[in-house]
Amino acid sequence: MTAVEVLGWIATATGMTLALPQLARLLRTRNVDGLSLIGWQAALAINIGWAMHGLRIGQLPQLFASAFGLLTTLPILYLMATAMGRSYVPTLLPGLALGVAMVSVDQFLGSAAYGWCAIAPAMIALGGQSIELVRAPDVFGISTPSLLMGTANQGLWTTWSLLIGDPGSVISALCATVLVAFNLVWFVMRRLGLRPFFPHAVVPVPCLVGSEGVDA
């Protein structure tokens, strides 16, 4: 097994577990404060698109990580929809439609075009979370371990994509790295006491356990 393959499988292993702390936190607290619904809808599209891209280019690490990501993204969206008083299936539709669009671009226009196309859902997912980090009254619904693991995982995938030289992977990974780093830094500042900018109205949501100050 080459060094590139080893790195790919390490990234796969971390990628398959990075959303588990966030899922556990939601199951325990039902607290969605600071989480971006549109971001997780875009994450659904990303999991679909990259699973099929990994299958098409014969990269099992991409395929396995993204396919497993669906197993955490779907229940997270269910819990968020429930907490926000939304129907589950309509909540999934935007992500499903975007995922189908990504797969179509990959199949008919090739990897480089797919890479540029894949930037859009990545920017929606990460950018949506960035907006919530800036505007949310508090960010206690966000799992610190998931955020840290996501940052480390993005670093691994960026390194892996540079080593394999696949244009689609490189283009998307480099753009995503910038927003991942911003989200981590801003989250730390919010937890240290930074006030929200342009805060949106607070919408009450169910919270079963009053443990907002303890991370999953």
Q: Coil, strand, or helix at residue 111?
A: helix
Q: What is the pLDDT of residues 135-146, one digit of tens each?
A: 999 898 999 998
Distance between CA atoms of residues 79 and 74, nearest Å? 9
- pTM reported for the whole predicted model: 0.76
Contacts by 4-8 with C-beta closer than 8 Å and gap 24+?
4/160, 4/163, 4/164, 5/61, 7/156, 7/159, 7/160, 7/163, 8/59, 8/61, 8/62, 8/160, 8/164
DSSP state of 196: P
Q: Taking residues 126-154, what's their average pLDDT?
A: 90
Please classify residue 2 by burial: count the beta carbons closer than 10 Å to its beta carbon, then call 0-12 exposed, 13-18 middle and 19+ buried: exposed
Give the Å distances, CA to CA, from 138 to 99, 132, 153, 182, 202.
30, 9, 25, 17, 10
CB 69 within 8 Å of CB 47: yes
Secondary-structure percent of the chain, ordered helix, strand, coil, rounded to 5: 75, 0, 25
Provide, rounded to the nearest whole percent, the portion of the chain with pLDDT above 90: 40
Q: What is the pLDDT of residues 51-103, one digit of tens each?
A: 998 888 887 777 887 888 899 999 999 999 999 999 999 999 999 999 999 99
Closest by CA to 205, choosing from 147, 155, 136, 143, is 136
The pLDDT of residue 211 is 38
Rg (the chain; Cα; Å) = 17
Residue with structure tokens 């269910």?
78
What is the total residue count of the chain?
216
